[in-house]
Structure 1
Amino acid sequence: MTAKHCGHHDHRREKHRRIFYGIAAFVVLVLFVVFLVWVILRPTKPQFILRDATVYAFNVSASPPFSLSTSMQITISAKNRMDRVGIYYQKLDVYATYRGQQVTLPTMLPATFQGHNDYTVWSPFMYGNSVPVSPGLMGALEQDQNVGAVLLNIKIDGRVKWKVGTWFSGRYHLNANCPAYIKFGSPNAGIPFGPVMKFALAQYCTVDV
């Protein structure tokens, strides 16, 4: 009775050990395949460049409560630098920030597929009407008025997929940051603004995926 019980127990332990080794071997195989695909395909982040910015309005209220109204159009390009992998931009939002505060509403870019080494160019409009500005941010704006220029950051946030043949990967988060240094005239004039001001920037963006 005891010998039978021990034999049955040892058989179950051996069965569990084989299942464990099988699962471990499968995990190792999957990791090896993923590594092999990565080595062969060499996935690379897309390259974003802020080409230009056309500013239609950049107005700060003169009295409390302080607010900022912005209206602008940018031209931004993206390049797929990979030879074997396509990129599907599933959902991208673009907006402007000033010193970490979002000052325009997000504008959605159209879903786009990029083949190998393809370029895509977007020219979205961005608006922010009477966006509340903290007193601390007003101090920074006054400093920029003395300099005669302002640094805006164009942010791109969204989801992308990789495409190899007919296979699509899962969704990955993409975040790009494009500095836009906008000059408004001489420091003595503060930030005088005409009807339209266009700035050629050709500014490379930092991209995280």
Structure 2
Amino acid sequence: MSLITEDPEHSPRDCSRFRSSSPGKHRHRRRRAALIAVSSTVASLVSLALILWLTLRPSGPRFSLLAATATVAGNATTVVVVVDAALSAHNPNAHATALYDQLQASASYGGVALGAGAPLPPLEQPDQGDAVLSALLTSGAGGRLPGGGGGRALLRMRVEGRLRWKVAAWVSARHGLTVDCVAAMVPSSAGQLQQQGSSSSPSSQCATHVL
């Protein structure tokens, strides 16, 4: 025989109510734990990326024009300009490898535009390393001899491409790369329709832009 009392503390309890609410509480706790874990992981990754960027922060490469030779030849109606140039690229970073691709060179000599030559091959440059890029550029056949005061002519050369940074197994996104070089060419010989000019790094300047 059971004794029913009006005392709430001693009266039988509705256990079904507690059983039905218990799974809901467990699901809420699991969702909360998962949210905390995901937030902690994201915060850790962001902090790691920020630390790596502040520690490494790759600097842009430095380019210089090592040497260039321009040859102008033709007859009374056709003039062709050929420029053979060599550029030096220096990677100043101690912990990042420079990866170049889609490199394309173009130039103008004495106001005569030179058509873009064949694309330059991809290049992987180790940290604090140097590399040499060679380009052979030719103008279309025309009837104008490149001008220049005192037999001199100005060479403007541009290299465009893509640059990525590699640190261990991590590789950055591609960045636009533009290199502009200007050099004063001093002819070694001159004629009415033939002349040859040459230049080396002391008389040239290059500006490098990384986007």
Name the TM tier (shorter chain): 0.5 to 0.7
> How much is the aligned-residue C-alpha RMSD, in angstroms?
3.5
CA 175–69 in structure 1, closer or farther in 2 if over 3 Å, else same: same
Secondary structure of residue in 2 paired with 1:170: coil
- TM-superposed deviation, 1:156: 0.3
Considering only CA atoms, is the larger Rg found in Structure 1 or Structure 2? 2
Equivalent-residue separation in structure 2 for 1:112 and 1:83 (angstroms): 18
Richer in helix (by share): 1
Q: Does the alignment pair 1:173 with 2:184?
A: no
CA 149–99 in structure 1, closer or farther in 2 if over 3 Å, else same: closer
Unmatched tracts of structure 2, length 5 or more: 1-34
Equivalent-residue separation in structure 2 for 1:75 and 1:53 (angstroms): 6
Equivalent-residue separation in structure 1 for 2:160 and 2:92 (angstroms): 19
- TM-superposed deviation, 1:127: 1.2
Contact 1:97 1:155 in 2 (8 A): no
Q: Does the alignment pair 1:85 with 2:96?
A: yes
CA 83–62 in structure 1, closer or farther in 2 if over 3 Å, else same: same
TM-score, L = length of structure 1: 0.67
Equivalent-residue separation in structure 2 for 1:132 and 1:38 (angstroms): 53
CA 55–99 in structure 1, closer or farther in 2 if over 3 Å, else same: closer
TM-score, L = length of structure 2: 0.66
Count of aligned residue pairs for this structure pair: 173
Unmatched tracts of structure 1, length 5 or more: 1-18
User: Corresponding residue for 1:120?
Assistant: 131
Moved over 3 A (4+): 28-35, 98-102, 189-194
Secondary structure of residue in 2 paired with 1:109: coil
Equivalent-residue separation in structure 1 for 2:192 and 2:208 (angstroms): 31
Q: Does the alignment pair 1:54 with 2:69?
A: yes
User: Corresponding residue for 1:199?
Assistant: 199
Secondary structure of residue in 1 paired with 2:60: coil
Equivalent-residue separation in structure 2 for 1:159 and 1:68 (angstroms): 33
User: Corresponding residue for 2:84?
Assistant: 73
- TM-superposed deviation, 1:147: 3.1
CA 132–41 in structure 1, closer or farther in 2 if over 3 Å, else same: farther
CA 148–31 in structure 1, closer or farther in 2 if over 3 Å, else same: farther
- TM-superposed deviation, 1:70: 1.4
Deviations 1:136-189 (A, max 9, x none): xx8xx55x2x43211121100011111010111111110000102112369xx7
- TM-superposed deviation, 1:46: 0.5
Q: How many percent of aligned residue pairs carry the same amino acid? A: 25
Equivalent-residue separation in structure 2 for 1:72 and 1:43 (angstroms): 32
CA 89–58 in structure 1, closer or farther in 2 if over 3 Å, else same: farther
User: Corresponding residue for 2:9?
Assistant: none
- TM-superposed deviation, 1:197: 4.4
State which of 152, 162, 167 in structure 1 corresponds to 2:155. 152
CA 147–190 in structure 1, closer or farther in 2 if over 3 Å, else same: farther
Equivalent-residue separation in structure 1 for 2:143 and 2:209 (angstroms): 29
Secondary structure of residue in 1 paired with 2:95: coil
